[in-house]
Structure 1
Amino acid sequence: MDFLSGFFTGFLGQLQSPTLGFLIGGMIVAACNSQLQIPDAVYKFIVFMLLIKVGLSGGIAIRNANLAEMLLPAAFAVAVGLIIVFIGRYTLAKLPNVKVVDAIATAGLFGAVSGSTLAAALTLLEEQGIEYEAWAAALYPFMDIPALVGAIVLASIYTRKQRESFKEEFPSKQPVAAGDYAGEDNYPTTRQEYLNMQHGGASKKVEIWPIVKESLQGSALSALLLGLALGLLTRPESVYESFFNPLFRGLLSILMLVMGMEATARLGELRKVAQWYAVYAFIAPLLHGFIAFGFGMIAHALTGFSLGGVVILSVIAASSSDISGPPTLRAGIPSANPSAYIGASTAVGTPVAIAIGIPLYIGLAQAFMGG
């Protein structure tokens, strides 16, 4: 009973935080059809500032840390990213009216990491006085890249098999080249034909390095890795303490407002696809976070990984990429419907991860501390 009481007390306390308040406020403002707008350039600048601050703090910590301490949490981050993709492949993809490539792309986006969700979690941990390894933020790419690569590879394997089936079933049909439009007269009548039309007739080898390179070159990971490099190789403590750190919470509040407005706006996109995406987008972030929490507790028991670090691992697992993931998946899985995976992520997944997931995992950590 003490454990449950401590958990629910901590959970309810997180819901009253200003960070989550701005998110909910943004959702309400958008639902009321307000004309309030935050320029896209301002949004991108805020994301850059937040991620470079997280990177700087992580780089400074890594410079003074024992790298051996990072090995197990980093390995678990890789494992969780891949597990999330396989969960989506063999759950969401099996549901009615859900195309397999759409399900794999959705799983890849949910396996990848949201820098803004990570920033929100770090702020709440600091507000609650929960200690964590500063290098824990550096677990971001260890989960993000394997999830995106894994999703694109799985989609490529699936579509290749479908093309082979198509050739056997419809040997006389000529595939439409990728990028061409199929009119009503030659609209595909089978899933195999549809996939063949999307990808063309030739089978191509999956190239892993371009996927990794594109992920690393994405704006979110670039900012985070730049901050890590500067924190590790230079001495940025003075500018960090005088400029980046004081602005962090204020900028995060504006970002949460924007994300709340975006979540409400994306609900229309989500209605265009099967209702199963909404179910998946609500359940998956919490399930993914619990899986990561379990791995984190193993690291906690074996290496002394802090409970705050366990929360961070859980949060990045619960998050879904809002910056680097969508363009990577558009390029890597062109036949997938962006309304499905982006709508599911921004309309449901991200609000669930921030408003429910972060307080949930912090509440669990506080309950374990009390125990």
Structure 2
Amino acid sequence: MSLASAALLSPPVLCFGLGALACALRSNLRVPAPVFEAVSIYLLLAIGLKGGAELAETRWVDFAAPAGAALALGLFIPLWCFLALRQAAGFSVADAASLAAHYGSVSAVTFIAVVSYLAQAGIPHEGFMTAILALMEAPAIVVALLLARMVRDGSEDRSGAATADIAQPSLGAALREVVSSKSFLLLVGGLAIGGVIGKAGMAPVQPFFGDLFLGFLCLFLLELGIVAAEKADEAWKAGGRLLAFAIAAPLVNGALGLLTGAAAGLSEGGAIILATLAASASYIAAPAAVRLALPQANAAYALAASLAVTFPLNVVIGIPLYAALAGLIYR
């Protein structure tokens, strides 16, 4: 319970709750859009730089197994999510593929939250986990779009006319959207810069990119709390099947990530991060790619589920839960 209390009473989580409260009270509190944009750039670049500096001192033999485990999760999670959404929940092909892409990809902000949590809890982790974050961002989107294409191709009648409810997904356009997105460029670019300069090169900018990190995260989560509360109505309107998926999927994926991380030889902290990444849902890279490739999908479903349900669930309950489960496995 001490870990759960520490998570609930941490400044970032409390700031997230303050944002949600401000929305409930219909307050005019908002983080100005230019400030929010600047803070998001700072956070993504900061984790990229730090991860790159750590990765520069990592042996490939230590990185290979966790990287393979991350890719396996990125391939498997969208597959089971798509099948469950189609067969059990009855979503259309387009909506099932859209949700599978969002839940198979990862959230950089949730990654930042779990790293902050581990730092406060004093649990060490591998420095290359930022590279794992970047590695897991795109594969699930590709898998989900391929699943949508396969279902469409398998539903043509004898005359060759497509009877599926979606058009042909454009994989190339979606991939270009992911690779050129702000989050991907900042993460990968930061990794490259951090890898070149190393820890010695990071020392002069440590006061800015290290010491101020938690403060900027609090400001970022304050605005996200407002946005998540605004999306809550859309999540409720979508019905119980979407809410059930948005709650069950992160818990199932978090357990898969934790077990996979332990099998890949990650430390306790590294396994907690991989579990959190597997449990997270993208609301930056995936929406842009899905919008291009699956215009028939209802964008409100994925955004409401990932941002209004899964994100707060992970930040408030999920991360301490994954940490507690990791404690049972590693101790």
**TM-score (norm. length: structure 2):** 0.93
Q: Answer whether contact 1:116 1:255 (CA < 8 A) is retained.
A: no
Find the aligned partners of 1:13 and 1:157 in 2 and give their Cα distance. Answer: 46
1:317 equivalenced with 2:278 (yes/no): yes
- Farther-moved stretch of structure 1 (210-219 vs 38-47): 210-219
The corresponding residue for 2:213 is 248
Q: Answer whether contact 2:178 2:288 (CA < 8 A) is retained.
A: no
1:75 equivalenced with 2:105 (yes/no): no
Out of 133, 144, 165, the residue aligned to residue 157 of structure 2 is 165
Out of 308, 311, 315, the residue aligned to residue 354 of structure 1 is 315
The Cα shift of 1:97 comes to 5.0
Q: Secondary structure at the match of 2:264?
A: helix
Q: 1:167/1:44 Cα in 2 relative to 1: closer, same or farther (>3 Å)?
A: farther
Report 1:232-247 matches (<5 A): 232-235=195-198, 236-247=201-212
Structure 1 stretches of 4+ with a deviation exceeding 6 A read none
Q: Secondary structure at the match of 1:134?
A: coil
1:85 equivalenced with 2:59 (yes/no): no
Report 1:103-122 matches (<5 A): 103-122=96-115
1:296 equivalenced with 2:257 (yes/no): no
Supply the RMSD in Å over aligned alpha carbons: 2.0
Q: Answer whether contact 2:125 2:268 (CA < 8 A) is retained.
A: yes
The Cα shift of 1:29 comes to 1.6
The Cα shift of 1:253 comes to 0.7
Q: Answer whether contact 2:15 2:225 (CA < 8 A) is retained.
A: yes
Out of 297, 300, 303, the residue aligned to residue 339 of structure 1 is 300
The corresponding residue for 1:266 is 231
Q: Answer whether contact 2:247 2:309 (CA < 8 A) is retained.
A: yes
The corresponding residue for 2:95 is 102
The corresponding residue for 1:280 is 245
The corresponding residue for 1:226 is 189
How many positions carry a matched residue from both structures? 329
The corresponding residue for 1:141 is 134
Q: Secondary structure at the match of 2:29?
A: coil
Find the aligned partners of 1:207 and 1:68 in 2 and give their Cα distance. Answer: 36
Q: Answer whether contact 1:51 1:223 (CA < 8 A) is retained.
A: yes
Which amino acid in the other structure matches residue 281 of structure 2?
S
Q: Which stretches in structure 1 are left out of the alignment for 5+ residues? A: 1-7, 176-191
The Cα shift of 1:297 comes to 0.9
1:216 equivalenced with 2:179 (yes/no): yes
The Cα shift of 1:246 comes to 1.5
Find the aligned partners of 2:196 and 2:318 in 1 and give their Cα distance. Answer: 34
Q: 1:9/1:152 Cα in 2 relative to 1: closer, same or farther (>3 Å)?
A: same
Find the aligned partners of 2:119 and 2:328 in 1 and give their Cα distance. Answer: 17
Q: Answer whether contact 1:53 1:240 (CA < 8 A) is retained.
A: no
Q: 1:341/1:165 Cα in 2 relative to 1: closer, same or farther (>3 Å)?
A: farther
The corresponding residue for 2:22 is 29
Find the aligned partners of 1:96 and 1:60 in 2 and give their Cα distance. Answer: 44
The Cα shift of 1:213 comes to 3.2
Q: Which stretches in structure 2 are left out of the alignment for 5+ residues? A: none
Report 1:183-198 matches (<5 A): 192=163, 195=165
Find the aligned partners of 2:28 and 2:154 in 1 and give their Cα distance. Answer: 48
Q: Answer whether contact 1:95 1:276 (CA < 8 A) is retained.
A: no
Q: Secondary structure at the match of 1:98?
A: coil
Which amino acid in the other structure matches residue 123 of structure 2?
I
The Cα shift of 1:352 comes to 1.0
Q: Answer whether contact 2:173 2:293 (CA < 8 A) is retained.
A: no
The Cα shift of 1:251 comes to 0.7
Find the aligned partners of 1:295 and 1:68 in 2 and give their Cα distance. Answer: 17
The Cα shift of 1:212 comes to 3.2
- Farther-moved stretch of structure 1 (34-43 vs 313-322): 34-43
The Cα shift of 1:330 comes to 0.7
Find the aligned partners of 2:323 and 2:13 in 1 and give their Cα distance. Answer: 14
Q: Answer whether contact 2:99 2:301 (CA < 8 A) is retained.
A: yes
Q: Answer whether contact 1:77 1:139 (CA < 8 A) is retained.
A: yes
Q: 1:106/1:96 Cα in 2 relative to 1: closer, same or farther (>3 Å)?
A: closer
Q: Deviations over 1:257-296 (max 9, x none)?
A: 1111111100122234242111100111111111010001
Find the aligned partners of 1:335 and 1:146 in 2 and give their Cα distance. Answer: 21
Q: 1:258/1:166 Cα in 2 relative to 1: closer, same or farther (>3 Å)?
A: farther
Q: Secondary structure at the match of 1:250?
A: helix
